[in-house]
Structure 1
């Protein structure tokens, strides 16, 4: 293997410069792939420990709800059920008109939510409160997809909802969190009406950086009166290295 290729592997977790054995991969590379694939599958089927999450985000108030997907199998086979709130939970939601609402959902990687959501909430809530935004109780949704936040936000009368959700695992990351921000949430909103902050994890965007990005997007959304494709991320860039 050329030295330049082997050196490249020091700078990325991507599967590059794996070498070859005849027409295939070397045994070590093949086994590494199988292990990574198995970990990704496990992450998709991971379960959210709501009790541990509630303790980790204290003293924030937490409400628990569930989608209409009865279990993980239904969640994966029927995406539509993960976008709809269980009827009994809708009736129990409090009203928080004009508030900023966080919905924490397991999505496709509950383990990523378990690891990243507490740090993001700890960083983001104080920033939003200092900016004058009223933050509603955090809603934790089992078997939830992004659009579930629209129904929850509409039921509570929230001005804006940020859905913290586990991102689809890859072969190099099984702990990633995404945030989807939607102004004036209501059923029927599309992905084109949301802004996304992605790859929040130790090897990607930090919780502190994601919180700053969320604050900027929330302020810009309120000024513009829209999220999604109408709202461009023009947050001033920070230098990669200290000056």
Structure 2
């Protein structure tokens, strides 16, 4: 039986899921914490190899009454996706040929990224918050694109082919050891192949235990309106959401 000596600042664990105040037994970490770490690592690995539930997502997305094209990157499978990031940034030939100009204000792209689990769980609830805001203000929305084996930059090619003013990529973030289902939203004005990350605004850690859906939806709505008004995004577009409220 382990004799565990607790940390004097253990009360701070109430405010974070980070691994703090683990206690110790002798000079070692308690066995329960070692096992918890191994379990978290297993969840993170599982998230990286998870797959988009395209059938369920297509069914849920139908409620928004928008086209839902199913697209694929140039990465043939998960192993190529992880070894060749460049292939995850571009559409395969069939997917690119299937897209025609829509000239919408904004296009949403749902991509697996490094945690398809995050998109499977959080994308539709977030869209339920965001899309009514856009409709109420007259912002036009193009197809809701589902992309398998996609990275953030694949939104540039999709947006360019659809002639969208702005793309918003909802994508699974690299899983951490306390969050295997974190989703990010990347907003880009003027999408075109070759864009780099300084032209994007990122909203990170969208999940129930992180940035919850109403707050994430508010940030997306604010940044989208500002991007359309100022005709820019990225480092030049400051996130002042909530500062003046």
Is 2:166 the partner of 1:160?
A: yes
Count of aligned pairs between the two proteins? 239
Is the 2:171–2:185 Cα contact (8 Å) retained in structure 1?
Answer: yes
1:126 to 118, 122, 132: 132
- Equivalent position of 2:32 in the other structure: 28
CA–CA separation in structure 2 for the residues paired with 1:59 and 1:161: 21
User: How far apart are the structure 2 equivalents of 1:177 and 1:56?
Assistant: 18
Corresponding residue for 1:223? 229
| 1:75 pairs with 2:85 | no
- Equivalent position of 2:205 in the other structure: 199
The equivalent position to 2:119 in structure 1, one of 109, 113, 117, is: 113
Tell me the TM-score normalized by structure 1. 0.94
Which of 7, 11, 14 lines up with 1:10 in the alignment? Answer: 14
Question: How far apart are the structure 1 equivalents of 2:176 and 2:6?
Answer: 27
- The residue that corresponds to 2:239 in the other structure is 233
What is the match of residue 37 of structure 1? 41
Question: What SS class does the counterpart of residue 226 from structure 2 fall into?
Answer: helix
Specify whether residues 238 and 168 from structure 1 end up closer, same or farther in structure 2 by C-alpha distance, changes over 3 A only.
farther
- Give the equivalent residue in structure 2 for 1:185: 191
Q: Which of 68, 86, 99 is residue 93 of structure 1 equivalent to?
A: 99
CA distance in 1, matches of 2:147, 2:115: 13
Shift of 1:238: 8.4
- Does structure 1 residue 213 correspond to structure 2 residue 219? yes
1:6-59: CA deviations, max 9, x gaps?
Answer: 222222211001122333211111111111101100011001110101112222
* Contact 2:6–2:22 (CA under 8 A) maintained in structure 1: no
Local SS of the residue matching 1:58: helix
The separation in 2 between residues aligned to 1:204 and 1:69, in whole angstroms, is 30
Give the conservation status (yes or no) of the 8 Å contact 2:104–2:141: no
**Residues 107 and 165 of structure 1 are in contact (CA less than 8 Å); yes or no, is this contact kept in structure 2?**
yes
1:55 aligns with 59
Q: Which runs of 5+ in 1 are unaligned?
A: none
The runs of 5 or more residues in structure 2 that have no matched partner are none
1:237 CA drift (Å): 3.9
For residues 173 and 5 of structure 1, what CA distance do their matches in structure 2 show? 23
Q: Is the 8 A contact 1:57 1:122 kept in 2?
A: no
Local SS of the residue matching 1:189: coil
RMSD over equivalenced CA pairs, Å: 1.5
Quote how far apart the aligned CAs of 1:138 are. Answer: 0.3
Runs of 4+ in 1 over 4 A off after TM superposition: none
Q: Distance in 2 between matches of 1:16 and 1:36?
A: 15
